[in-house]
Structure 1
Amino acid sequence: MTAAMVEPGRSAGGRAWEYLLQSWRELDVPEGWRAEIDGGRITLVPPPHRHRNGIAERVQRALYAGLSPEWGVYQTLGVHIAALGKLYVPDLVVAPSELVEGVDADVSDPLDAAEALLVVEITSKGNAEDDRKEKLWAYAHAPVPVYLLIDRFDEHGPTATLFTGPENGAYRHTERVAFGEALKLPEPFSVTLETEHFPH
């Protein structure tokens, strides 16, 4: 559902981006929904399926097992790539706690995606292609050091793919496993995701 749109032909930078960002801040989003900015418009994303929440909970629990205290794992945290005119609300974001918890309670600005250490997207039927292509491209440009894509709707069966080493708008390294296989996350996480119990 489109909540706001800028005039055609206006760039992602400058006044158009500020207009979108201010509109995003002021939105009264229904509980459980998320508002994202992409392609010059704000869209509302419906609440995720229970299976998606189940996967997010398992990943979050695994991350906390190997994460140092100065980093937090956050759900529904907006991250933006202002240069591209994009603002996403990933399923999970690992970011410095001070950047999330140390801000004024009245400030609802998104986190610069470049400040994130890891972003996790878990596909649903309606957004799988966006997570595989558009968001992959945007996170590499941010750059987000590690992007974890958990794809329950991969045409070859459910998979988890780890993208690392962003350079010039693309990730240099990719590791992909089918559900049921283990996926080791790089430093500083020092954890292995056991995907065999991911619901799908």
Structure 2
Amino acid sequence: MTAAMVGNDRTSEGRPWDYLLRTWRELDVPEGWRAEIDEERIVLLPPPHAHHNGIAEMVQHRLYRVLPEGLGIYQTLGIHVAPLDRLYVPDLVIMERELIMAADPETSDPMDAAEAQLIVEVTSKGNARDDRTKKYRAYARAGVPMYLLIDRFDTRGAMATLFTEPNEDGTYKHSDPVPFGKPLVLPEPFGTTLLTDEFPV
């Protein structure tokens, strides 16, 4: 992971978030890379490994079979965690299609994380800790009802964990961890079982 530190002039630019968001909009990010805003800095994330993309595609394929009417699955969608002024680009975001279509076509502003129904992160070796800690807390603070963390680098072995029932303190009340090879139930509105036995490690 490569961090691009972006300075800010609080007196002329207003809040650091406003300056960082304006800078984020104007970035010319190399193809395949992602730019996120975390702790008052812009972070550039390199393209993930093929196995990372393979897992994301398998999850997306499974969800498309059961996706309720009106919801869409989005890759490379910037989402704003308003309570923390952070901007992340998850591997998958499930959100109402109507919200996406209503977005201002003249800007590339992120969507509100609170509107997501499910967020999926697949860890890479360089950012696994952030997905387990920072993003876990951020998605809970934003009120994202379900956070699916697929962690190939968990010290217990490769795991898929579904976190549900977010608290305002930045935690989830429930977690359902399963090792790769075991099924993971995704509750309504999806009502399906995610098969992890084919996930590459």
- TM-score class normalised by the smaller sequence: over 0.9
Name the CA distance, whole Å, in 1 between partners of 2:164 and 2:35.
Answer: 26
Q: Mind listing any 5+ residue stretches in structure 2 that lack a counterpart?
A: none
1:24 pairs with 2:58: no
Q: What does 1:121-160 align with in structure 2 at a 5 Å threshold?
A: 121-160=121-160
My pick for the range that moved more, 80-89 or 46-55, is 80-89
Residue type of the partner of 1:136?
Y
Count of residues in correspondence between the two structures: 196
Query: 4+ residue runs of structure 1 moved beyond 6 angstroms?
Result: none
Equivalent pair of 2:25/2:109 in contact (CA under 8 Å): yes
Name the CA distance, whole Å, in 2 between partners of 1:104 and 1:134.
Answer: 29
Give the structure 1 partner of residue 176 of structure 2: 175
TM-score, structure 1 normalization: 0.94
Name the CA distance, whole Å, in 2 between partners of 1:99 and 1:4.
Answer: 31
- Percentage of pairs with the same residue: 61
Q: What does 1:19-58 align with in structure 2 at a 5 Å threshold?
A: 19-58=19-58
Residue 193 of structure 1 deviates from its aligned partner by: 0.3
Deviations 1:117-148 (A, max 9, x none): 00000001100000001110110000110000
Residue 4 of structure 1 deviates from its aligned partner by: 4.3
Q: Mind listing any 5+ residue stretches in structure 1 that lack a counterpart?
A: none
Deviations 1:84-112 (A, max 9, x none): 12110000000011111332332211011
SS of corresponding position for 1:173: strand
TM-score, structure 2 normalization: 0.93
SS of corresponding position for 2:176: strand
Residue type of the partner of 1:73?
I
Residue type of the partner of 1:157?
G
Q: What does 1:1-200 align with in structure 2 at a 5 Å threshold?
A: 1-7=2-8, 15-168=15-168, 169-200=170-201
My pick for the range that moved more, 71-80 or 60-69, is 60-69
Name the CA distance, whole Å, in 2 between partners of 1:83 and 1:17.
Answer: 12
Name the CA distance, whole Å, in 2 between partners of 1:179 and 1:156.
Answer: 11
Equivalent pair of 2:94/2:116 in contact (CA under 8 Å): yes
SS of corresponding position for 2:15: helix
